[in-house]
Structure 1
Amino acid sequence: MLSAKERHAAWLLAACGVFAVSGCAPIPAGPAEYSAGRTRVVLPSVAWEDLGATNEAFPLHPLPGAFPLQTRAVALRGDKRELLAVMLVQTNRTDIPRDPTLWTGSCPFQQGMTVEDTTAGSPVRIDCLRFKRWANNADWMEKNHPGVVRWMAEHKATLQQPYSHLNYRFATQGGSYVEVNAMVDQRLLRPKTSNNEEFLRAGYPAQEWSHKVAEAARLSTGMVDGFFAVPPFPFAVPN
């Protein structure tokens, strides 16, 4: 009998068939999904809910015009309706081809957080993963992501428990763009520990989950239907 991981891989292969330049064929619907521009944000369970979508325009300095984007917000709540996670996914609003695009977005190192810049500062693409474990300490979010903080306040979507923050940005010279901001209750990412060895290894599940989010977001830009499968959290929703 196939394991859950093997069944998932077989499902993807069956849906994709033979890869083409344009990407994989459309994949069947997931447990819950919402659109973010050209992207299908497929969530791992029906416990997630939609918080709405907004359209934005990214200015193309110094060129005239703007880059049309859309942001979809989703949230995971607990049994008492408390917020456990909020995710904002921003992507291209359409599939309209664009002229070659240069990106100036940086991926600077910052003390106290994990930063992975796969492009090593490339001017033609972005592939930047940033993860902060204690995101709601010392006004870190307010200083580093004021726009996200304002959005959470306006939509009454601020987590009350200690949470971590993931930011992943991916952009190509061809104009593909996706950015993910996720605020996640630490209990979904980090196990309880009872000794020093467990404490030293406690950060691995969050790291693995972050890499899965980045991979899924990156792959979505090459999919025909923008399929972005958000991976489940390493640990169950706390009671």
Structure 2
Amino acid sequence: MWMALKSLSGRRVSGMVLATCAFAALAACAPLQPGTTEYPVGRGRLVLPQGEWVALDRSEEALPLLPEPGATVPLQTRAVGLRGANKDWLAILLVQTNSTNHPRPTTLWTGSCPAQQGLMVEDATAHSAVRVDCLRFKRFAQSGGWLDKNHPLLAQWLARQGAAPAQPYSHLNYRYATEGGAYIEINAVVDQRLLRPQTRSNEDFLRAGRPGQEWAHQLAEAARLSTSMMDGYLAVPPFPIALPN
């Protein structure tokens, strides 16, 4: 597919993570919750909140492990979309994660999580070379061609699929990677009606962005947790605002 592999790579260091150690650190498998939709993605289970979700695409990729020639981390990407009552697109999610639970080499990661004007950017690693934990959230991603300029491959893919929300939308990008070789990246394009309540006063306006930011933090936490689950269970949190009729 297109995920941001060019901006991130791993570097193998001596020693392998033993399978017994890896499995000992993993939590038990999580049950499927009623009323949800589930799709496999790599080693994981993508569990979606209620709504009409549609599978859009799936692809295999490999993240290079430098400097060893030919060494890679195999990844799989799954794309799904949420349709509204009129079959319009309300949300598009793309999740990329490890293809298997096989033991992985101890890995040092390259990449950056730079601040950007107009974005909520949180780098929980403080520029660590051992792991990646980068959350980026753009509330008004449709304005001024922002998505085309900052995520051109995503914008082109949405155009090919005819899947971009027609309403004003927000964009989330979250990347998480560990020294043990675990990797997950999420891109979400979400109709603002699912994240931002209607405002009737100045006070409402000042608080309107909080539900979307809280949802972004919840999704990031779910992604982090999925890397420690035996079955890669990733439960996307419900959107804070009810689906529009």
TM-score, structure 2 as length reference? 0.87
Determine if the alignment matches structure 1 residue 104 to structure 2 residue 110.
yes
Alpha-carbon distance between aligned partners in 1 of 2:161 and 2:108, rounded to the nearest angstrom:
33
Structure 1 segments, 4+ long, off by >4 Å, are none
Which residue in the other structure is 1:42 paired with? 47
Which residue in the other structure is 1:25 paired with? 28
Determine if the alignment matches structure 1 residue 59 to structure 2 residue 80.
no
Alpha-carbon distance between aligned partners in 2 of 1:28 and 1:143, rounded to the nearest angstrom:
40
Which residue in the other structure is 2:191 paired with? 185
Alpha-carbon distance between aligned partners in 1 of 2:111 and 2:53, rounded to the nearest angstrom:
30
**Cα displacement string for residues 60-90 of structure 1 (whole angstroms, at most 9, x for unaligned residues):** 2322222210000111111110000000000
Alpha-carbon distance between aligned partners in 2 of 1:156 and 1:198, rounded to the nearest angstrom:
33
**Cα displacement string for residues 89-133 of structure 1 (whole angstroms, at most 9, x for unaligned residues):** 000011111111111111000000100000011011000000001
**Cα displacement string for residues 193-237 of structure 1 (whole angstroms, at most 9, x for unaligned residues):** 111111111111011100100000000000000000000000011
- Map residues 1-239 of structure 1 onto 2, 5 A cutoff: 21-30=24-33, 31-64=36-69, 65-239=71-245
Please give the secondary structure, in 1, of the residue aligned with 2:108: coil
Which residue in the other structure is 1:11 paired with? none
Which residue in the other structure is 1:12 paired with? none
Aligned-pair identity in percent equals 60
Gaps of at least 5 residues in structure 2 are 1-22
Across the two proteins, how many residue pairs are aligned to each other? 220
Deviation (angstroms), 1:159: 1.5
Alpha-carbon distance between aligned partners in 2 of 1:47 and 1:158, rounded to the nearest angstrom:
16
Which residue in the other structure is 2:11 paired with? none
Decide which structure has greater strand share.
Answer: 2
Alpha-carbon distance between aligned partners in 2 of 1:150 and 1:67, rounded to the nearest angstrom:
25
Matched to 1:177, the amino acid is Y
Gaps of at least 5 residues in structure 1 are 1-19
Deviation (angstroms), 1:148: 1.1
TM-score, structure 1 as length reference? 0.89
Alpha-carbon distance between aligned partners in 1 of 2:67 and 2:154, rounded to the nearest angstrom:
26
Q: CA RMSD in A?
A: 1.2
